[in-house]
Amino acid sequence: MLLRKDDNGVLAIGQPSHAWISGQLARAWGTDMFPRPEPYDEVCLAADQHDVGWAIWDLAPDRDPATGLPYSFMELPLQEHLALWGAAPERLLTQSRYAALLVSMHGSRLYRRRKLDHVAAVRQYLKEQDRLQNRLRDGLDADLVQMASDLIWTWDFLSLAICLGWAPRTARGVPTVAGPVDIEITGAGEGRVRLAPWPFAVDLLTVRCEGRRLTARYETDEALASALSDAPWEGLEFELTSA
């Protein structure tokens, strides 16, 4: 879960809602410099669903005793985090082998970036995902798969930066026809974000997601569950323009 803090409390944004923004970015992606994702439908599906493992958890998230709020995706205890990511690719296999492969690669990349290879449970997770990926890769174009994985990584980062107000920030190693480049993310006022260089097929892109409004610290699991059940839904909309 993403926790977006503002003057009115916290907006709890489910991981799949943030992933929905990744999918919106994917479908608009493509210029002479930034190639359109291929195979298009499969990669866009993976972008939409890259956090599918969190879908059930986010309906009734565990409470973080340190904050009295749901655990954010960055604070969730490791064993629960591993369980969610371990189940994610299987949830997509009945839709698309390609999308399931990309979700598995994304989870593996996250854990390798966290440098937790010394933890036995992480090593086991990575071994299981490597076996799954080797099976799902059979017969696929390795270069296209790697570019798609790099794009999923980029869209995930851009969506997090947009939802959590991380600007100014840099998305690094974004694939282009001439090799990887960095995209600079800057703020341009409330709900407005600028990107340079510009990677989209349209001159202006509006993306949106939803969250639930929380206004207090909750001292028990029951209080948090009740608050989330009654919490008003709020929509977020962001306008992306070229810098």
**pLDDT tens digits, one per residue of 14-35:** 999 999 999 999 999 999 999 9
Q: How many separate domains does the chain show? A: 1
CA atoms within 13 A on the CB side of 153: 24
* The predicted structure's pLDDT at residue 127: 96
Q: In what order do the strands lie in the sheet with 192-196?
A: 2-6, 9-13, 204-214, 233-242, 192-196, 181-187, 169-174
Percent of all residues in the chain with a pLDDT value above 70, rounded to a whole number = 100
Q: What is the mean pLDDT of residues 67-85?
A: 95
Instruction: Write phi, then psi, for 204 (nearest 5 degrees).
Output: -140, 135
Q: Which domain holds residue 79?
A: 2-242
pTM: predicted TM-score of the whole model, two decimal places: 0.96
SS3 call for 232: coil
